Amino acid sequence: MTVHVMTGNDAAATAAKLARVQVVAAYPITPQSPVVENLSKWVEQGELPAEFVAVESEHSALTVCIGASTVGARAFTATSANGLAYMTEQVWWAAGARLPIVMCVANRAMAAPWNVLNDQQDSMSVRDAGWVQLYCRDNQEILDTTVQAFRIAERLNVPVMVCYDGFLLSHTMMPVDVPDAEVADAFLPPRTAPLQVVDVNNPRNVGPVTLADPRADADGTLQPGYMEFRAMHHGALLEALEVVPDVDRAWETATGRGWGGLVCEYLLDDAEIVLVAAGSLVTQLTLVAEALRAEGVRAGVLGIRCYRPFPVAALRERLAGRALALVFDKALSYGYQGPIAEDLKAALYAAPDAPAVYGAICGLGGRDVSPGQLAAATRAALGDLAAGVTDRAPVWINLAEGSMR
C-alpha cells in the first residue's frame, strides 16, 4: 500500500487499473476526461494490458463496453452530464442485458443552460435504469468503491455506476492509499463466464424481441416473457442490498477500509435531527452536525452510499425514533421535489416511529454550499418542526430572492 496525493479522477482511473480492466471505451467530457486520459496513457505505455477504444460519442462508448462485456471482458467507461444523457439508450441496454460494466460518473449539471460544474442531476436522472448506483464522499472512497463495483457487478450480473461530485472531488487532490496489485487481485479474481452464450457452434441471438408473455421455444420449453426478465432484474437489484455491504466488508478485511455498505453515519447514535445527503455533501454535513452540537442541537448525519437499490430497511432502522430527517438534494425532479427526499418519504411511509422529512435543494450548477448555509437551513427547519409543520415544500438554499415565480 502506498499513499499518493491524487484527484478523484486519478483515483477512479487507478481503481480501473487495479481491477485489470480489459476494455475501456470512452469519449472525453468535463469533468470526467482525466479518468480516461490516464487509462489511455497507461494502455499506450504498456502499463495496462487492455484495449482502449477511442469512440466518436458516449453512445458508442457504452455500446463498445456492451459488446466487450457480452463476450466476457471486464469493461469500464466514465462520463458526465450530457455525455451520460447521450448514452442513455445504452444505459438501459447494459442493465437489461445484465452486463457487469462499471461506469464512473463525475457528477455535473445538465444543460441547458450550459454548465460544467457539479450537481447530481445527471446520474439521478437514470436512477430507474436498473444499475446499482453508489455515491462517494472523498477520493479514497472513489478508489475503493470503483474496485468494489466490479465485484458487485460480476456477482449479480448488473452494471454499477460509481458517482462522485465533479470538480469538488474529480479535480481536488487528496491523499489516497493505493492497495498493492496482489491485494486487489485477491479481492477481485478474473471475471467468470458471462451469462451470454457466445459460441459460433452454438449461436444465440442475445436480447431478441421478447414479448410480454412467456413463450414456448422450438423445443417446447417455456421461456420467460418480458415481465419475467424484468422481475429477475429487479430481484438482482434487491439482492444488491446484501451484496453491496458484503463486498464492502470483504474490502475492509483486505485493506482495513470499509465505507458503511449501504449507508454511512456520523454522530448518529443519539441524534434527534438527522442530516441526509449523498456524495461529498455528506462530508460537509459532518462539520454542520458538529457546529449544531456545539449549540446544543443533537444533530447527526446519515449518508446514502447506495442510492439504487434504495436501502429502505437500513434507512427505516436508523431513522426510527428521530424527530426530523432533513434531506439535501443536489438534483430535482422538476415540478416535484429532490429525488432523495422523495424516495426517503416513500421509504418511511407507514414505518413505525418515523421522523418528519423535509427537503432542501442546493448546489445546482455548482452553486457553492457552505457549512454555514447548511447550518442556517437546519436551524430554520428546526423552527418549522417546533411550529408543528409535518410536511414542507422543498427549501432552496442560497437562492436569489424572488426567483421562483
* Closest approach of other proteins to the CB of residue 191, in Å: 16
Q: Which of 209, 212, 350, 393 binds other proteins (CB under 8 A)?
A: 209
Task: Provide, rounded to whole angstroms, the least separation between the CB of residue 70 and other proteins.
Answer: 10
What is the spatial distance between Cα 236 and Cα 149, in angstroms, rounded to a whole number? 15
Q: Which residue's CB is nearer to other proteins, number 206 or number 250?
A: 206
What are the contacts of 387-393 at 24+ separation with CB within 8 A? 389/356, 389/358, 390/356, 391/356, 392/358, 392/359, 393/337
Binding test (CB under 8 A) with other proteins, winner from 3, 5, 111, 232:
232
Residue from 41, 215, 249, 379 binding other proteins (CB under 8 A):
215
Among 67, 72, 207, 258, binds other proteins (CB under 8 A): 207
Q: What is the Cα–Cα distance from 152 to 267, expressed in whole angstroms?
A: 29
Question: Judged by CB under 8 A, does residue 191 bind other proteins?
Answer: no
Q: Which helix (H) or strand (E) holds 52?
A: strand 51-54
Q: Which stretch binds other proteins (CB under 8 A): 85-93, 114-122, 211-219, 247-255?
A: 211-219
Least Å from the CB of residue 80 to other proteins: 29
Q: Interface with other proteins includes 72 (CB under 8 A)?
A: no
Q: Is there binding between residue 195 and other proteins (CB under 8 A)? A: yes
Number of amino acids touching other proteins (CB under 8 A):
30
Count Cβ neighbours within 10 Å for each residue of 128-154 and write b for 16 or more, e otherwise.
Answer: ebbbbbbbbbbbbbbbbbbbbbbbbbb
C-alpha to C-alpha distances, 298 to 266, 276, 324, 330, 348, nearest whole angstrom:
12, 14, 11, 24, 21
Window of 6-14, 104-112, 227-235, 292-300 that interacts with other proteins by CB under 8 A = 227-235
Nearer of residues 72 and 224 to other proteins, judged by Cβ: 224
Nearer to other proteins, 207 or 365 (CB): 207
227 near other proteins (CB under 8 A): no
What is the x/- site pattern for other proteins, positions 96-135, by CB under 8 A?
Answer: -xx-------------------------------------
Contacting residue, 211, 212, 350, 393, with other proteins by CB under 8 A: 211
Task: Decide if 282 contacts 141 (C-beta within 8 A).
Answer: no
CB atoms within 10 A of CB 340: 25
CB neighbours of 34 closer than 8 A, spacing ≥ 6? 7, 9, 10, 13, 170, 171
- CA end-to-end distance (rounded Å), the chain: 54
| Cell triple for 338 | 429532490
CB-wise, 212 or 387, nearer to other proteins?
212
Which amino acid type is present at position 45? Q
Residue type, 132: V
- Closest CB to other proteins among 218 and 294? 218
From the list 195-203, 239-247, 340-348, 387-395, the region that binds other proteins by CB under 8 A is 195-203
**155 contributes a contact to other proteins by CB under 8 A:** no
C-alpha grid cell for residue 115?
Answer: 454548465
- Asked whether position 157 contacts other proteins by CB under 8 A, the answer is yes
The answer to whether residue 218 forms part of the interface with other proteins (CB under 8 A) is yes
Separation of alpha carbons 70 and 159, rounded Å: 12
Q: Is 224 in the site for other proteins (CB under 8 A)?
A: yes
Look up residue 126 and give its three cell numbers.
437514470
Determine the interface stretch with other proteins among 134-142, 216-224, 310-318, 319-327 (rule: CB under 8 A): 216-224
- Residue 157 or 172 having the CB closest to other proteins: 157
371 binds other proteins (CB under 8 A): no
HSE toward the beta carbon, residue 318, CA cutoff 13 A: 25
Rounded-to-integer distance, Cα 12 and Cα 78, Å: 9
What region, left, alpha or beta, does residue 256 occupy, with left being phi > 0 and alpha being psi -120 to 50 degrees? left
Work out how close the CB of 123 gets to other proteins at its nearest, in angstroms, rounded to a whole number: 24
Which residues of the shown chain bind other proteins in the complex (CB under 8 A)? Answer: 97-98, 157, 195-197, 202-211, 214-219, 222-224, 226, 228-229, 232, 236
